[in-house]
Amino acid sequence: MNPIIHDYLTDIRRRLSHLGLRERDAVLEEIRLHLESEVARLHSEDTSLSKDEAALQATNSFGDPEEIGVAYGAPGGVINRTTGEMLLEVALLTTRAAGRGIRGTLKWTGIILAIILGISLILVLAALVFADNVIDTFQDDIRENTPRPLYDYNGEWTGYPEAHTETTSDSFQIRDGMRDFTISFDIRPDASTAGSGCAQIMLTSPGGSVVYDSGTDCDADSRTLTFSEKGTWTVQYTYVAFQGQVDVDAYYFEDVSRQS
Amino acid sequence: MDGMNAADYLLKLERDMTGGFLHLLVLEYVQRLEPIHGYGLIRGMEEAQAPGQWKEGTVYPLLAALEKEGLVKSRWGRPGRGARRKYYETTPAGREIRDLAILKWQRLRARLDTILEDPE
């Protein structure tokens, strides 16, 4: 079917919606036959006329679809639709409106999501910056509170002839960048042996002060002390026929504030 | 004239007048050409230079209206090897109405002529 005629008939069909389906189809078929006959006649009378031009003339001669609809009983200028068609149209409009609603919702959802994403991104970046500071802070804290080996002394002597008798000294340095240090002394005479001898440990500060002296009473001793004075610290061990164990461990802590 | 020029107004007037007697005109031509399909009827009316301002598209609704009134009847047929067509012919009631309508028209026209030719 010629597209011009097709569109024209479609227009008329819309205006005949007040008719029953069978009656409407019959009317449209009759009009279609008329138009095709007219196109054929016009074309035969003037072969230079294209099919479209002929179709246009034929439809123009046939009349305005709206007037034709009215002539078939449609209310003048108002399309009389069947309830089904009205419901269909309402459904279509509703669907379109719903479609617009969904599209609108999707659009705004997208915008909101984009905003949320943007804010989240900013927050994440801020959190990273903050976290970096936090990590730095913790790093400092960790550095500041991590004990680092400074000095270590271990000795174990059993019965004679291994029992230890001598006086020795060690030293270690507390330098800038070292906040303080903790030193533990652990003197454990062999309790299973009578007359296990003595072990005396003395810690002397850089200024010459003896800050720890385990004494000469030859008893076991365990002590942990903390100092911060910079300089050379000296540890003196005096053994007199000592049987047992001696452990001395020192750890220092960084002075982060000075380093930063 | 406000809103509509004289030519347009006269065209509308002629259409309205044609609408008044187009039923009779179609009924007359169906009776003359029956059995006749819509396209043949319109072609016949055009060739006979049927009076009035009417569009081809208005004839089909008139035929449908006349059929509903029982003044014409129709049937689908196929002329020879051509496309199927809907053929119309008048019913006895249609022919009676046609005769009565012609009388009515003649009386109306006579009275109208009297008025129009002698305004006083």
Mean pLDDT over each residue of chain A, to the nearest integer: 81
Query: Residues of chain A whose pLDDT is less than 50?
Result: 77-92, 95-96
Residue B61: list chain A partners with CB under 8 A: 68, 71-73
Q: Quick check: B102 pLDDT over 60?
A: yes
Strand partners for A226: A182
CB A216 within 8 A of CB A198: yes
CA A16/CA A27 separation, integer angstroms: 9
CA B108/CA B111 separation, integer angstroms: 5
Instruction: Give me the residue from B39, B58, B62 closest to A63, CB to CB.
Output: B58
Instruction: Give me the residue from B58, B62, B86 closest to A30, CB to CB.
Output: B86
Inter-CA distances, A250 with A146, A183, A210, A245, Å: 13, 4, 16, 17
Which of these, A162, A228, A248, A234, lies nearest to A205 by C-alpha position? A234
CA B23/CA B97 separation, integer angstroms: 11
CA A40/CA B27 separation, integer angstroms: 27
Contact A64 B57 (CB under 8 A): yes
Residue A73: list chain B partners with CB under 8 A: 61
CB B39 within 8 A of CB A34: yes
In chain B, which residue's Cα lies nearest the Cα of A58? B56
The structure's pTM equals 0.49
Task: Report the complex ipTM.
Answer: 0.81
Residue B32: per-residue pLDDT? 93
**Predicted confidence band at B95 (pLDDT cuts at 50, 70, 90)?**
very high
Residue A63's Cα: distance from chain center in Å? 68
Which helix (H) or strand (E) segment holds residue B41: the answer is: helix B38-47
Handedness of CA B2, B6, B11, B16 (dihedral sign): positive
The 10 Å CB-count burial string (b at 16+, else e) for A6-16 is eebbebbbebb
Contact B56 A37 (CB under 8 A): no
Q: What is the pLDDT of residues B14-72, one digit of tens each?
A: 888 877 788 888 999 999 999 999 999 998 988 888 777 778 888 999 999 999 999 99
Tokens, residue B29: 């031509």
Residue B84's Cα: distance from chain center in Å? 24
Residue A97: per-residue pLDDT? 52
Instruction: Give me the residue from A36, A61, A73 closest to B56, CB to CB.
Output: A61
In which region does residue B74 sit, left (phi positive, over 0), alpha (psi from -120 to 50) or beta (all else)? beta
Instruction: Give me the residue from B37, B60, B83 closest to A27, CB to CB.
Output: B60
Residue A137's Cα: distance from chain center in Å? 23
Which of these, A245, A161, A241, lies nearest to A195 by C-alpha position? A241
Residue A99: per-residue pLDDT? 53
Strand partners for A238: A167, A200
The 10 Å CB-count burial string (b at 16+, else e) for A101-110 is eeeeeeeeee
Residue B38: list chain A partners with CB under 8 A: 30, 33-34
In the three-class reduction of DSSP (H, G, I as helix; E, B as strand; rest coil), residue B36 is classed as strand
Burial class (CB within 10 angstroms; exposed 0-12, middle 13-18, buried 19+) of B116? exposed
Instruction: Give me the residue from B56, B62, B84 closest to A62, CB to CB.
Output: B56
Contact A33 B83 (CB under 8 A): yes
Which of these, B56, B89, B43, B27, lies nearest to A31 by C-alpha position? B56
Which helix (H) or strand (E) segment holds residue B88: the answer is: strand B85-90
Q: Answer with the residue of higher pLDDT: B21 or B107.
A: B107
Residue B86: list chain A partners with CB under 8 A: 26, 30
Residue A36: list chain B partners with CB under 8 A: 83
| Residue B4 DSSP one-character state | S
Residue A100: per-residue pLDDT? 54
Contact A27 B56 (CB under 8 A): no
Q: How far is B84 from chain A (nearest CA, A)?
A: 8
